[in-house]
C-alpha cells in the first residue's frame, strides 16, 4: 500500500535526522535541503540511498539534482512508490 505524503515526510525527516542530527520537525515541505537545512551533497546522497531502501523506490542520479526542496523529494517518492 502506498504511503501518504505525510507518512513519506515523516520517514524522510527520520532519515535526515539520522544523517545530520537535525530535529525531525525542522524538515518541512517548504525547506530547501541545501539552503535551509544545510545538507551537503555527500549527506544528500546518503539520504537518497537510505530513502530508496526505506520507501522501495529508485531515485536515478539525474533525478537527485531536481530534489531541491523537501516537497520535491516527498512528491517524487510518493509518486514513484
Range 5-80: architecture per CATH = Orthogonal Bundle (1.10)
Q: Tell me the per-residue pLDDT of 25-35, one tens digit each, with 9 for 90 and over.
A: 999 999 999 99
Q: What is the 3-state secondary structure (H, E, C) of the chain?
A: CCCCHHHHHHHHHHHHHHHHCCCHHHCCCCCECCCCCCCCHHHHHHHHHHHHHHHCCCCCHHHHCCCCEHHHHHHHHHHHC
Contact status, residue 47 vs residue 39, Cβ threshold 8 Å:
yes
What's the pLDDT band for 1 if we cut at 50, 70, 90?
A: confident
33-60: pLDDT as tens digits: 999 999 999 999 999 999 999 999 999 9
User: What is the pTM (predicted TM-score) of this model?
Assistant: 0.95
Domain residue extents for the chain: 5-80
Amino acid at each position: 500500500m502506498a504511503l501518504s505524503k505525510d507518512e513519506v515526510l515523516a520517514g524522510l525527516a527520520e532519515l535526515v535526522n539520522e544523517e545530520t542530527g537535525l530535529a525531525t520537525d525542522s524538515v518541512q515541505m517548504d525547506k530547501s535541503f541545501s539552503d535551509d537545512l544545510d545538507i551537503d551533497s555527500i549527506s544528500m546522497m546518503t539520504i537518497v540511498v537510505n530513502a530508496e531502501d526505506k520507501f522501495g523506490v529508485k531515485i536515478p542520479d539525474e533525478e537527485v539534482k531536481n530534489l531541491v526542496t523537501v516537497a520535491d523529494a516527498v512528491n517524487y517518492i510518493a509518486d514513484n512508490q
